[in-house]
Chains A and B, each alone.
Chain A
Amino acid sequence: MLQIKDLHAGIEGKEILKGINLTIRPGEVHAIMGPNGSGKSTLASVLAGREDYEVTGGSVEFLGKDLLELAPEARAGEGLFLAFQYPVEIPGLSTINFMKTAVNEVRKYRGQEALDAAEFLKLMKEKMSLVNIDKNLLTRSLNEGFSGGEKKRNEVFQMAMLEPKLAILDETDSGLDIDAIRIAAAGVNAIRSKENATLVITHYQRLLDYIVPDFVHVLYNGRIVKSGGKELALELEETGYSFLKNEMNIA
């Protein structure tokens, strides 16, 4: 469903991604790991279509379309979701209203009828229980004054609401607490299916105790330098990233 070929991208003239190759098929869970500064967040931002980043080469195909040609909202319409590491606050806008707009915009993009209030409420209740989120949280201003765990839960709730085909979780923060990890993982596992794929971006092996990946990739200095099964994550935890430097120095 996602095919990244020789992707080069950077910011302010500085090249950060230096030729990424990655293929994700439906039903798979991929993890991208790597030391700080290796370009993990950049990859997530480029896939989601953040304007600050400039793509200088390569291609990304998503469900048969040229992803890089699409506006960010069209990417969402096509079924790409990014769970943000640091979701922004929007004062005065409740998650419920935000999601009502988002769900219906995405439906419009897909040529589906907008949900009316009753239908929306039904969908919301269903997803609320799926990801175990409290209604109070959803009536408050989006992310305003939320704890780290609440923000995470809210991102996962939004993911469940929008039913993406490919969910990208930006979990690069090594300071992520165990609660937040559990919440994110439970959410991902709840919506995991044969049709959907997940890309988890993390610095932290620990997350992968909860979300078991089919594939693990190591990103270093803008390139995927190693790929393997879930055991690669364990290996990395034992040896750390220091081996990379040695390998790369030789290369």
Chain B
Amino acid sequence: MNDGLSTIEQQITSDYKYGFTSDLDADQAPKGLNEDIIRFISGKKNEPEWMLEWRLKAYRHWLKMEVPEWANIKYPPVDFQDIIYYSAPKQTKKLNSLDEIDPELRRTFEKLGISLDEQKRLSGVAVDAVIDSVSVATTFREQLGELGIIFCSMSEAIQEHPELVKKYIGSVVPMTDNFYSALNSAVFTDGSFCYIPKGVRCPMELSTYFRINAQNTGQFERTLIVAEEGSYVSYLEGCTAPMRDENQLHAAVVELIAMDHAEIKYSTVQNWYPGDKEGKGGIYNFVTKRGICAGVHSKISWTQVETGSAVTWKYPSCILKGDHSVGEFYSVAVTNHHQQADTGTKMIHLGKNTRSRIVSKGISAGVSHNSYRGLVSVAKNATNARNFSQCDSLLLGDRCGAHTFPYIEVKNNTAQVEHEATTSKIGEDQIFYCNQRGIDTETAVALIVNGFAKEVMNQLPMEFAVEAQKLLAITLEGSVG
């Protein structure tokens, strides 16, 4: 322990000596977590005192918490002292050419139709001035800046817009909310910050892709989106190409705040490394995503396509506080081989005349397990709340499992809550029908699965949807026949 500490001290001092900007590649904290590591992270990022205090408070709370075990997932315990909490920029091994990429990954890229330049960027091949993503990003930023939209990394936001960050961070997902949100609050390294001023309709889909330093923001991402009165923003998270990532644990926190008449649309395509066919390796993805419809007539819509990770634990939720506010959750979760997903949503109706809609499509193949877990809660004063939930499961083969756990808590008798659920299997008849039309089994499965997921896919922005469709197909490759 003492040895550990002195190493950290050394690192901190040496960093102070040489400054933050030089030699970033070598920047790394030692393994493990303690208050000094948190100070190290905060110091690295040159954070104001209040931010450090906030992190430490979260850490101290986290120490008293226990790993949640209620989800329908099984995995060996995570050793939180065996993780490196700061490593910047998080860069996987630099490759010199595409030939060095794992051929399987390469094949997937090709199936996705990803351009060579893009392939290089995604797999960490040094790209010399081929894609000028930085200047692209700058152009977008200028355009957004003219509208008063702030779109930057969380680290920048803490430096440049501390009053906004201070006001909203942890306001939707309190640091004490759950084990992983507390951990994230203590150690988050970066993420996105987005602020849409009153009355502004963001003219483009905001995506981390267009942000400088967007890649590899780390395993503890923190995202905060604030939409002021009457504004609108559509935000895309993630990247549709399969990212290999050596991090075992991901614990992100996303907070959305929508004021009166504001609308936030948040779309995710998650395809972290799911582990191999035997279930070895793969990401544990424990995410806390929550939005608050703070104002009247506000709207928050979550759309997610979850194809990756070995274990997914994720419940994007909406707190419908403003009267007449609307929450939506559209989800496709695919599991194959040994993947496990426990995902769903919470719709918390607090305001009057609030509405929520849940459409969940679970697809399971191999020996995977896919659970939908949803809570619809209607508070005492939430008169005329409406919810509609549709949870459909599609099974490929008979060794996988689909589970549905809907919870409903209604404390106001004017509420109308509807829940529908179906479970179906891809039939041999369906596949044979496609075969007879010249379509091979793999493509047939893709067609059937995409048909099944269509209602959710339709919610995605166009270019995203096309890639998401291909991803579903790739995830399920070899799962039938």
In the assembled complex, B10 has its CB within 8 A of some CB on chain A: no
Q: Which residues of A contact B428 (CB under 8 A)?
A: 51-52
Q: Are B443 and A105 in contact (CB under 8 A)?
A: yes
Q: Are A90 and B448 in contact (CB under 8 A)?
A: yes
Q: Are A98 and B437 in contact (CB under 8 A)?
A: yes
In the assembled complex, A92 has its CB within 8 A of some CB on chain B: yes
In the assembled complex, B447 has its CB within 8 A of some CB on chain A: yes
Given contacts A50-B432, A88-B427, A88-B429, contact A76 B451 (CB under 8 A): no
Q: Which residues of B contact A76 (CB under 8 A)?
A: 435-439
Q: Are A101 and B435 in contact (CB under 8 A)?
A: no
Q: Are A101 and B439 in contact (CB under 8 A)?
A: yes
Q: Which residues of B contact A158 (CB under 8 A)?
A: 437
Interface size on A, residues (CB 8 A): 32
Kindly report which residue of chain B lies nearest to residue A93, judged by CB atoms: B451
Q: Are A48 and B440 in contact (CB under 8 A)?
A: no
Q: Which residues of B contact A105 (CB under 8 A)?
A: 437-440, 443
Min CB distance A170 to B, Å, is 11
Kindly report which residue of chain B lies nearest to residue A104, judged by CB atoms: B438
- Interface residue range, chain B: 20 to 34
Per-residue B-contact encoding for A205-249, CB less than 8 Å = 1, 0 else: 000000000000000000000000000000000000000000000
Q: Are B451 and A84 in contact (CB under 8 A)?
A: no
Q: Are A90 and B451 in contact (CB under 8 A)?
A: yes
Kindly report which residue of chain A lies nearest to residue B422, judged by CB atoms: A91
Q: Which residues of B contact A98 (CB under 8 A)?
A: 434, 437, 447
Q: Please report the C-alpha to C-alpha distance between residue A90 and residue B444 in the assembled complex, in whole angstroms.
A: 10
Q: Are B437 and A91 in contact (CB under 8 A)?
A: no
| Other-chain contact of A102, B437, B441, B451 (Cβ < 8 Å) | B437
Enumerate chain B interface residues (CB-CB to A < 8 A): 427-430, 432-441, 443, 447-448, 450-455
Q: A76-B436, A90-B433, A93-B451 are in contact. List 13 more A-B contacts (CB 8 A).
A: A48-B436, A49-B436, A72-B432, A73-B437, A82-B436, A88-B430, A90-B447, A93-B448, A98-B434, A102-B439, A105-B438, A106-B437, A162-B437
Provide 19 A-B residue pairs closer than 8 Å at the C-beta atoms, listed in order of the A residue: A71-B440, A72-B432, A72-B435, A73-B437, A73-B439, A75-B436, A88-B429, A90-B430, A90-B433, A92-B453, A93-B447, A93-B450, A93-B454, A105-B438, A105-B439, A105-B443, A106-B437, A141-B451, A142-B451
Enumerate chain A interface residues (CB-CB to B < 8 A): 48-52, 71-73, 75-77, 81-82, 84, 87-88, 90-93, 97-99, 101-102, 105-106, 109, 141-142, 158, 162
